[in-house]
């Protein structure tokens, strides 16, 4: 009997392997219909197609996270493991950066999978997209310049090249929650919430199973009592559309969204309380 590990679906086929000398050459080559940019080779395995030209941009794109007083610049070649472990990002996000990455498959996968692949792919299952949507996040494109992540998430894929993910520090409080059937499986549903200084709450729900979406509510979930918070979380969950697949039904996902948003708001309330206690 043939081994299951020799099946073609586990193999990436490509005709040409090219390392462009600069991004301009990479952009020109990427205009071809059969050209694909290689990152960590993790998400490419989800595509059942033959690749004409495989572009290796490892030498052209940054794999570093740069922090300044105003924000973060996360290079497209930064691994998910780097996001998970970065002290500055986790301090700013109250641990949400680690929460949205540490359950993605395994450590070896996270050492290979890149921010560029996860964000530019705009996959429905992307924990990273859900989490970073609620921040003041921007995608830096070679030709398109800086585009708000929420706007980028709605765009159709084109031939541009993502060079970095930019995060602006805005003094927010945030939390990330998700539900998985198994520890390393794709999420059944993911949710994130962030409260800004103006009294608004940004809500993102992903793995619906479509890609994550964003809504803004003029109020703070964390300021409500437990019953009101649960009810408002359910109402906010109803603003999104849901679908069914092998991991769960649309109605189950709708219910989960309310639960996860309520949990995220409760965590934000705890963060604010802890901060107040430290300043006394």
Q: 200 lies in which domain range?
A: 173-273
Residues 161, 177: one domain?
no
3-state secondary structure 196-231: CCCCCEEEEEECCCCCCEEEEECCCHHHCCHHHHHH
Domain count across the chain = 3
Has residue 151 been placed in a domain?
Answer: yes
Has residue 106 been placed in a domain?
Answer: yes
Residues 85, 134: one domain?
yes
Residues 73, 134: one domain?
yes
**For 176-234, what is each residue's pLDDT tens digit?**
999 999 888 899 999 999 999 899 999 999 999 999 999 999 999 999 999 999 999 99
**For 19-69, what is each residue's pLDDT tens digit?**
999 999 999 999 877 888 887 667 666 555 678 898 999 999 999 999 999
Is the distance from CB of 149 to CB of 138 less than 8 angstroms?
Answer: yes
Residues 180, 133: one domain?
no
This prediction has a pTM of: 0.91
- Among residues 198, 209, 203, the alpha carbon closest in space to that of 253 is found at 209
Is the distance from CB of 75 to CB of 163 less than 8 angstroms?
Answer: yes
Per-residue model confidence (pLDDT) at position 9: 55
């Amino acid at each position: 009997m043939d081994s299951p590990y020799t099946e073609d679906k586990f193999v990436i086929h490509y005709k040409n392997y090219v390392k462009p000398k600069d991004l301009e050459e990479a952009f020109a080559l990427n205009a071809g219909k059969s050209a694909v940019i290689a990152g960590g080779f993790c998400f490419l395995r989800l595509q059942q197609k033959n690749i004409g030209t495989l572009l290796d941009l490892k030498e052209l794109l940054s794999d570093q996270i740069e922090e300044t007083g105003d924000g973060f610049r996360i290079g497209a070649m930064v691994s998910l493991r780097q996001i998970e472990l970065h002290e500055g990002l986790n301090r700013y996000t109250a641990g949400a950066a680690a929460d949205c990455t540490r359950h993605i498959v395994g450590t070896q996968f996270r050492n290979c999978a890149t921010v560029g692949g996860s964000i530019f792919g705009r996959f429905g299952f992307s924990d990273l997209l859900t989490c970073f949507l609620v921040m003041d996040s921007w995608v830096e494109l070679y030709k398109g310049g800086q585009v708000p992540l929420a706007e980028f998430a709605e765009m159709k894929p084109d031939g541009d090249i993502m060079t970095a993910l930019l995060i602006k520090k805005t003094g927010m409080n945030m939390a990330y929650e998700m539900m998985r059937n198994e520890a390393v499986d794709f999420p059944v549903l993911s949710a994130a919430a962030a409260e800004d200084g103006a009294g608004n709450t940004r809500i993102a729900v992903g793995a619906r199973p479509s890609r994550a979406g964003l809504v803004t509510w003029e109020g703070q979930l964390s300021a409500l009592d437990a019953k009101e918070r649960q009810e408002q979380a359910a109402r906010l969950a109803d603003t999104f559309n849901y679908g069914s697949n092998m991991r769960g039904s649309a109605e189950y996902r709708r219910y989960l969204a309310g639960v996860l948003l309520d949990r995220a708001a409760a965590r934000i309330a705890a963060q604010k309380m802890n901060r107040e206690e430290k300043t006394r």
